[in-house]
């Protein structure tokens, strides 16, 4: 196999992988929104002190406390690793170490998108290591990742 045909194969594989991620993301997001619309019992998260935010961001904040084990193993690619106090994972974008709300993600679309994608994948039954791999693949170009340990 020549170097050129090897490169073409890699490019085809990457294109197919990205197409699959797009389909999985759409299906998973629909599943999360369907479950949310079905009345999962509401939330105990008090968002009253938070700024106005889109419904997807609100949903991510509501889910964050009960999904800390997932969010703690997902990197964020929004650049929060470059903050004066760098974040160590997506969990830190939504919650402070004591469990109270962190305002950072309320104005960050990348944080929200990663959270919504991860929640949808988890709702579809994917394990955390697979979710992590898919998030890394999808968001790697967005910015520098946080230094987050693997699940």
How confident is the prediction for the chain on average, in pLDDT?
Answer: 82
Residue 106 maps to a domain:
yes
% residues pLDDT > 70 (the chain): 72
The per-residue pLDDT for range 65-111, each reduced to its tens digit, is 999 999 999 999 999 999 999 999 999 999 999 999 999 999 999 99
pLDDT interval class at 46 (50, 70, 90): confident
pTM of the model: 0.72
Burial 65-103 (b: 16+ CB within 10 A, else e): bebbebbbbbbbbbbbbeeeeebbbbbbbbbeeeeebbe
Total domain count, the chain? 1
Residue 123 maps to a domain:
yes
pLDDT interval class at 33 (50, 70, 90): very low
Burial 10-24 (b: 16+ CB within 10 A, else e): eeeeeeeeeeeeeeb
Provide the CB-side half-sphere exposure for 128 (13 A, CA): 12
Q: What is the pLDDT of residue 32?
A: 44
The per-residue pLDDT for range 124-135, each reduced to its tens digit, is 999 999 999 999
Residue 91 maps to a domain:
yes
Residue 11 maps to a domain:
yes
CA distance 73 to 37: 27
Residue 111 maps to a domain:
yes
Residue 145 maps to a domain:
no
Find where tokens 């402070």 sit. Answer: 96
Q: Domain range spanning residue 108?
A: 3-38+55-139
């Amino acid at each position: 196999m020549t170097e050129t045909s090897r490169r073409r194969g890699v490019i085809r594989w990457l294109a197919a992988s990205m197409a699959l991620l797009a389909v999985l993301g759409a299906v998973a997001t629909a599943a999360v929104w369907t479950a949310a619309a079905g009345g999962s019992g509401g939330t105990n998260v008090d968002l009253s002190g938070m700024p106005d935010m889109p419904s997807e961001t609100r949903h991510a904040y509501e889910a964050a406390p009960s999904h800390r084990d997932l969010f703690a193993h997902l990197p964020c690619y929004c650049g929060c690793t470059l903050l004066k106090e760098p974040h160590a994972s997506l969990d830190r974008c939504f919650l402070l170490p004591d469990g109270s709300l962190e305002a950072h993600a309320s104005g960050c679309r990348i944080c929200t998108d990663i959270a919504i994608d991860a929640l949808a994948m988890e709702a579809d039954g994917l394990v955390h290591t697979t979710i992590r791999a898919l998030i890394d693949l999808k968001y790697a170009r967005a910015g520098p990742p946080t230094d987050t340990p693997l699940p």
